Structure 1
Amino acid sequence: MDVKDHPVITVLGESRCYIVPIYQRQYAWGDNLLKQFWDDVAAKAGEALQTGKPKFQHYMGALILAPGTTAVGKTPTMQVVDGQQRLTTFQLFIAALRVAAEGAGFADMAATLQGYLFNVPKVGEKDKDARFKLSPTPADRELFRFLMTENWDSVKAKYPQHFYKKGTLIWGQAPKPMRAVALFRELIDRYVRYGIVDTDEDEQERQGPDDVDTQQQRLQALQEALLLYLKLVVIQLGEDDDAQVIFETLNSKAEPLLAMDLVRNNIFHRAEAQGESVQDLFDEKWSVFEDEAFWKADAPRAKPRRPRIDHFLSHALTAQTGRETSLREVYAEYRDFARPRGTPRFSTVADELDALTLYAPTYRTLERPDGSALGWLGEKLATWEVAVIYPAIFMVAAAAIDDDEKSAIYRLIYSYIVRRAVCGLTPKNYNKNFERLSAIFLEKGASLQSFRQFFEDATAYTVRFPDDAEFTAALGTIPIYRNMGRKERIADILWEIELATRTKFQAQGGRPPGLSIEHVMPQGWRTHWPLPNDEFAPSIGTVVTEPSLANAITARDALIDTLGNLTLVTQPLNSHLSNGPWKEKRPDLEDALLALSSAIVKVEKWDEAAIRERAQSLADKSVVIWPSLNRT
């Protein structure tokens, strides 16, 4: 048996045909595994674009090969005992990447990728199948080869039963290799054209694709990430090795190790070697991580989906070093942290554990809010799904500053996230922004002054902290209901304004469950809501030729989804209100008993002027709720 690790370029670069035995199962990777694979590739591509070369290569598991055939004048073969699923995925991804390169006009790149899908036939070789790098199980073979050799239009023509008439894939019934190629094509296209990694992000698509040079760089980075920075542990069996026994051993039902399990083993192995009391270290320090129900559960809103313990370790390392930590290589990152360039960072393992566990209580409070100022911030970050700020928060919580100063920083963090979202500014660079903030805290100490200074010096579009003028203008004009995405975030904004609007004579309870966002003037306003000149607009789809009427309709539509036209009501009331006229809607809103609606129901006619007036009133409250850098 020979065991070595190799990058994918070595595995697929050899002139060799990998044969999946007939007894192996069909290709089985579903959407979740494919997206995890994409996350790994895109993460390495992003590192390559930012730094030129990732700090670590990423291991994708094992590939077990048994001897095949070797003969003069024939392409050598190897039997794939284990790893055929990931090997097939590599091929499907390369096929999708090749299509993207061809579509973008990068013929040289497409030709290079072709070399990792096909072998160069030997002179006189009669076996036509030998030209494929991979020969899947017979159940997948015909479709797989068609996907390797034909374009997407040909796939639609040959397999029309898997496509709707408009040409999109019928996802639930399409074979998994076909689904994989379709998904990879979509993900690659969005990444190359817009720089979007996450399938939930869409803000950049509205701004148009990036320039051709940038697209080519991203394609090149994806190619390098897959071929150079993903690795496999290749186990080549000898003639006398029992392939089935090895396969069963490596695929036993044991629970896989987490990154923190590897860290723990590494730490206590060194502690024992250095003569420190392993039992005391475990009892006094490590035991904080032994609540498996908390630490081994997936972090519910963090990406990628991993156990909390792995996310915590990544955040803690960033807080300790001021550098972004790769979650996918977090064990390698920890080893590099504990022993940079082979030299121990800490004089004892006890000191190392003190550094590792320092932020555990802070993380727990952020994930399980307890009513404190820190817990309040944790609730807000959960709503806005921004966990990349955790390292900076760790440093604030541990800083030698008073609680009022910490609370002011927490409020500004929340304000920064909300202001940027309302102003339509991208959250794409949050990881880099907050990494730099962590580095500033490490250098100057975590304080309100260093926080303010960081953002006062940051004027770039992707970093800046919107001032009151920009924030106020956005609150009156930007259609946040349409732009913000998750409605829970809009509800959070409205509820904070509700709290700020209440007087001592109104109910002071917490947020009732099930509140719904209501458009005061409904989105379907045309039936019962006349324009300012008392004229009713024609139904949607009717061509309007009169300029004044067209302008009035456009002006109203622009205000419908702005904050000035939104409020909170219970879900039953939302359904009851529907698109009814103002005279029917007004008394129902009065019965809602929310301070947020108290000013609305005093208005005799709810129209464009009323929406703008309310937007200004809400903006006046909002600049206090979400303060600017110098207001706290």
Structure 2
Amino acid sequence: MDAKDHPVISVLGDQRRFVVPIYQRQYSWGEARLEPFWDDVVAKAEQTLEEGKPKFSHYMGALILAPGGDGFTIGSTPRVQVVDGQQRLTTFQLFLVALREVGERLGYHQLSGHVHSYLYVPPMHGDTDTDARFRLMPTPEDRPVFHLIVETGLNGVRAKHPEWFFQNGRLIKGPAPNAVRALAFLVDRIETYARFGLTDEQADPAPVADEPDDAPHRRLRSLLEALLNHLKLVVITLSENDDAQVIFETLNSQAEPLLAMDLVRNNIFHRASAQGEHVEALFEAKWRPFDQDREFWKADSPRAKPKRPRIDHFLSHVLTAQTGDETSLRELYAEYRAFTRPKGKPRFDTVASELDALTVYAPIYRALEVGGGDEALARLGAKLNLWEVSTAYPLVFHIAISDADPAQKSHLYTLIYSYLVRRALCGLTPKGLNKTFARLVGAMIKDGTSAATLAVWFAGQRGDTVRFPDDREFREAIRNKPVYDSIRRKDRLADLLWDLECASRTKYSVHAPRPANMSVEHVLPQTWTTHWPLSDGRNAPADKLTGVDEAMLAGIRTREAALQTLGNLTLITVPGNTTASNRAFPDKKPWLRESLLALNLAILERDTWDETAIAERASTLADLATAVWPAPSSS
């Protein structure tokens, strides 16, 4: 038996065919397995784009190969059996097909040539098998559809099996085989990443104005390089005398997998013992809290990517908070070893001080994740959790343990959330927040933890992917941006409106807590043609086209532009929303009054509600918003 690690390019670039034995299971990866695979590849692609080469390769597990079983024929392509790892190999192939397909869609036709040799093997004169050109031979059940995928891509599958697709071309997930579903998943992820630079399907796409024209092609190349050069497999090649089944069962035992933090713990206490420190006392005093509350620390972090236990995410945030450098969660153990010995010298004099540098952040992390403790931290944590921006945690960690006074810390927490809100309402991309927050940590390590440092740093950032929108841009967005369309998560939009509700209250208002059954309401309804005449008194047709003249068309466009802006949005109870629906303004006002919200008082004072009223209310909300979500003072 021979075991060596190899990058994927060495495995798929070899002159041999991989044959999955007939007794192996069919391809079974669904989204639960494809999501972390995609996260691994795109993380390496991002590092390749930014740094030229990642600090570490990522190991994808083992590939066990056995002799082909039918001997070697001179002049024919060598064959090996895939004892274990066929799911990974198949996914690599599907990823290459998906890359090729997206490349064709985006006009990057050279990509087909780049991936060809990893999908096919050059024919040899002794190859008589009709499928000899394919590099991978899946199980007989999977083989026809897999080879159809490799040959024709998603379009070819759709042409041969229209029953697997809706009329709009989207895949019906039920009847299609797993390989087809996996291909559709990968095509969607790759195309979104290539077009917008987004690594998460939940993010709201927003154009990046300062990108070069070839950015989508560069991202596709980085994905190919990440897969081939920066993912590795431990390839175990068996001899004729090795028992393949025993090795397979050993590597696939049901033991609980070690977490990165488990490896870190073992490394820490091994060094403590070697250095003569009191291991048991250190464990009891400094590590025991992690083990005592296993339910919290070992649970998957519900809002962080990739899906990993909280304790691993915690360690990643700690490393970034202490260094100002991004940390790869996928190579966390290697990152930690590099952290403890920068440039080959120990960072800490003792293991005790090293443990102190870890555990000081534990209560901060808990407050951000589940509340409790420091009120300002818990409040920020609730906001970050709603927006799923745990990438801000390292910056919050750094601020929380700094020497800044409580008022300064609270102001910095407000600015962090203001940054997210302003960018969302201005329609700026959410991409790259992890880099922005890590660089802010670095700036504060260098120049001090203060709002002034944050303001100076942002003053030097002009690119759309980083900048902090100023008051002028923010006001303009509130007046004109269709935020109801751009912010897809309506619970986030409702939370923003509730913040404005609280800011609208006076000492005479009812300061009630937020009810659980509030929803976002369009004052001028989305379906407005029946009960809401235009400014000239005419009713528009239901389709907004039939029989309209130029004047009416202009009025429709003006109304549609105002419809989804913040000035036309408010909060109302869910039953009130259902009842008010598309009614005329006089009929809707009682339900707005029933809400007892200060946010609705200015609406109730009006006799009519139209584009002018929306614009005036938007200006009022803009005044409130700049105070609720302030900009750094220098901007």
Q: TM-score of the superposition, structure 1-length normalised?
A: 0.96
Q: From 372, 377, 382, give the equivalent of 1:379.
A: 382
Judged with a 3 Å threshold, the aligned counterparts in structure 2 of structure 1 residues 585 and 199 are, in CA distance, closer, same or farther, namely: same
Residues 103 and 511 of structure 1: CA distance in aligned 2, closer, same or farther (over 3 Å): closer
Partner in structure 2 of residue 41 of structure 1: 41
Q: Deviations over 1:4-34 (max 9, x none)?
A: 1110011111111111111111000002212
SS in 2 for 1:24: coil
Give distance in 2, aligned partners of 1:255 and 1:595: 54
Deviation of residue 106 (structure 1)?
A: 4.7
* Alignment CA distance shift 1:399-1:151 (3 Å): closer
Q: Distance in 1 between matches of 2:267 and 2:221?
A: 36
1:187 is matched with 189
Are 2:3 and 2:235, in contact at CA under 8 Å, matched by a contact in 1?
yes
Q: By how many angstroms is 1:238 displaced?
A: 2.3
Partner of 1:177 in structure 2? 179
Which residue does 2:127 correspond to in 1? 125
Q: Residue 572 of structure 2 aligns with which residue?
A: 569
Residue 280 (structure 2) aligns with: 279
Superposed CA offset, 1:219-239 (max 9, x none)? 221111111000001111222
**Conserved? CA contact 1:399–1:445, under 8 Å:** no
The secondary structure found in structure 1 opposite 2:206 is helix
Query: 1:104-156 deviations in whole A, cap 9, x for unaligned?
Result: 55555422311111112222332333332211111101111121222443322
Q: Equivalent residue of 1:65, what SS?
A: strand
> What does residue range 56-71 of structure 1 map to in structure 2 within 5 Å?
56-68=56-68, 69-71=71-73
8 A contact 2:193–2:219 mirrored in 1? yes
How far the C-alpha of 1:192 sits from its partner, in A, is 2.3
- Please give the alpha-carbon distance, in whole angstroms, between the structure 1 residues aligned to 2:616 and 2:212: 41
1:617 matched residue in structure 2: 620
Superposition RMSD on alpha carbons, in Å? 2.0
Q: Of the candidates 598, 603, 608, which is equivalent to residue 600 of structure 1? A: 603
SS where residue 139 of structure 1 aligns?
coil
Q: 1:47, 1:54 within 8 Å by CA — same for their partners in 2?
A: yes
Which residue does the alignment assign to 1:582?
Answer: 585
What per-residue deviation string (whole Å, max 9, x for no partner) do you get for residues 226-253 of structure 1?
1100000111122222211111121111
- Tell me if the contact between 1:193 and 1:210 (Cα under 8 Å) persists in the aligned partners: no
Q: Which amino acid aligns with 2:162?
A: P
Secondary structure of the equivalent of 1:204? Answer: coil
Alignment of 1:184-583 (within 5 A): 184-204=186-206, 213-290=214-291, 291-370=293-372, 372-583=375-586
Q: Secondary structure at the match of 2:248?
A: helix
| Larger deviation, residues 27-36 vs 236-245 | 236-245
Q: How does 1:132-147 map to 2 (within 5 A)?
A: 132-147=134-149
1:416, distance to aligned residue in structure 2 (A) = 1.4
1:216 partner letter? H
Give the match for residue 17 of structure 2: 17
* Preserved CA contact (<8 Å) 1:29 1:85: yes
Conservation of the 8 A alpha-carbon contact between 1:319 and 1:394:
yes
Deviation at 1:208, TM superposition (A): 9.7
Identity %: 54
Query: Is the 2:544–2:556 contact (alpha carbons within 8 Å) kept by the matching residues of 1?
Result: no
Contact 2:540 2:548 in 1 (8 A): no
Matched position secondary structure for 2:142:
helix
Cα distance, 1:504 vs. partner? 2.7
Contact between 1:48 and 1:221, CA under 8 Å: does it hold in 2? yes
User: 1:193·1:209 contact (CA, 8 Å) conserved in 2?
Assistant: no
Shift of 1:318: 0.6
Contact 2:455 2:634 in 1 (8 A): no
The Cα of 1:212 is off from its aligned counterpart by 5.4
Uncovered stretches (5+) of structure 1, i.e. residues with no partner: none
One-letter amino acid of the structure 1 residue matched with residue 16 of structure 2: R
AA at the equivalent of 1:360:
A
1:148 to 147, 150, 153: 150
Judging changes above 3 Å, is the alpha-carbon distance between structure 1 residues 32 and 573 closer, same or farther for their aligned structure 2 residues?
same
Counterpart Cα distance in 1 of 2:359 and 2:2: 40
Whether the aligned pair in 2 keeps the contact of 1:395 and 1:438 (CA below 8 Å) is yes
Conservation of the 8 A alpha-carbon contact between 2:428 and 2:464? yes
Query: 2-side partners of 1:544 and 1:298: how far apart?
Result: 57
Please state how far the C-alpha of 1:306 moved relative to its aligned partner.
Answer: 1.6
Answer yes or no: is the 8 Å Cα contact 1:48–1:54 preserved in 2.
yes
1:4 match: 4
CA contact (8 A) 2:518 2:573 kept: yes
C-alpha separation in 2, matches of 1:274 and 1:115: 52
Q: 1:53-92 alignment to 2 at 5 Å?
A: 53-68=53-68, 69-92=71-94
1:496-546 Cα deviation digits (max 9, x unpaired): 111112223332221111211111111111111111222111112533542
Question: Which residue of structure 2 aligns with residue 50 of structure 1?
Answer: 50
Indicate how the Cα distance of structure 1 residues 201 and 346 shifts in structure 2: closer, same or farther if over 3 A, else same: same
Q: 1:576 to 1:364 in 2, by over 3 A?
A: same
8 Å Cα contact 1:194-1:209 kept in structure 2: no
1:399 to partner: Cα distance:
0.7
Given that 1:494 and 1:568 are in contact with CA atoms closer than 8 Å, whether structure 2 keeps it comes out as yes
For the residue of structure 2 that corresponds to 1:260, the secondary structure is helix
The separation in 1 between residues aligned to 2:605 and 2:105, in whole angstroms, is 59
Question: Structure 2 stretches of 5 or more lacking a match?
Answer: none
Aligned residues: 631
CA distance in 2, matches of 1:329, 1:306: 12
CA distance in 1, matches of 2:508, 2:101: 66
Q: Distance in 1 between matches of 2:342 and 2:66?
A: 39
Query: Contact 1:194/1:210 (CA < 8 Å) preserved in 2?
Result: no
For the residue of structure 2 that corresponds to 1:129, the secondary structure is coil
Alpha-carbon deviations, 1:395-434, whole Å to 9, x = none? 1101111101111111111111111111112221212211
CA displacement at 1:624 relative to structure 2: 1.3
Matching residue within 114, 117, 131 for 1:115: 117
SS of the residue 2:442 aligns to: helix
Deviation at 1:190, TM superposition (A): 2.5
Q: Mark the CA change 1:36 to 1:535 in structure 2 (over 3 Å): closer, same or farther.
A: same
* SS, match of residue 388 in structure 1: helix
Taking the aligned partners of 2:78 and 2:397, their CA distance within structure 1 comes to: 55
Distance of 1:219 and 1:170 partners within structure 2: 27
How far, CA to CA, are the matches of 2:220 and 2:458 in structure 1? 33
